[in-house]
Amino acid sequence: MSLQESYEVKKVLQFLNEININIIEKELGTTFLPGLDLGPNCIYIDYTNLLYPGDILHEAGHLAVTTSVERKLIGTGEISSEWPTHGEEIAAILWSFAAAKYLNLPLEFIFHPNGYKNDSDWLISNFSNENYIGLPLLEWMGLCLGNELAAKEGKAAFPAMLKWMRD
């Protein structure tokens, strides 16, 4: 079975389609994450070079936590050289955790040993213990609610999401 036909990848691609993140198959050269690159409102995937399919959700997180105005500029010369900021990086990591939980995928699918500057185990440990690094930022973006605000509003708390894409 090809990587593209795997259960996890099919599940991820269906989810991304549902939240309007476009996937475009494209031959890619050398990229920061092998087999993946971002473009305006889309993720480019080269399945022949993709090493870690969980990285698709991380890249989707970058699109999701970026404003809709800036999202259209990703992959162009018009996007700020500061993009993504450190805060957006943390938000994308936390977003991908929420997506994995929503999709009922193992955290090791996203936080594989060869990613996240060797902090995958640390991220899994923190998130599994509900130490959600970056949660105030996702809450500020209007994507989710922390425990306190969720209880006050009678809604589900993170990792449940109010919406998957930032306005």
Q: Tens digit of pLDDT for each residue in 130-152? A: 999 999 999 999 999 999 999 99
Mean pLDDT of 85-101: 97
pLDDT at 117: 85
Residue with tokens 């938000």: 91
Would the pTM count as exceeding 0.85? yes
Tens digit of each residue's pLDDT (9 = 90 or more) over 51-75? 999 999 999 999 999 999 999 999 9
Q: What is the mean pLDDT of the chain?
A: 96
What are the contacts of 61-64 at 24+ separation with CB within 8 A? Answer: 61/91, 61/92, 61/93, 61/94, 61/95, 61/96, 61/99, 62/38, 62/88, 62/89, 62/92, 63/21, 63/38, 63/165, 64/19, 64/21, 64/92, 64/95, 64/143, 64/164, 64/165, 64/166
- Asked whether 92 and 34 are in contact (CB, 8 A), the reply is no
As a whole-number percent, the residues of the chain with pLDDT over 70 amount to 99
CA distance 3 to 52: 10
Per-residue pLDDT at 34 exceeds 80: yes
pLDDT at 4: 77
pLDDT at 1: 65
Mean pLDDT of 24-39: 96
Q: Which residue has the higher pLDDT, 2 or 112?
A: 112
pLDDT at 3: 78
pLDDT at 5: 80
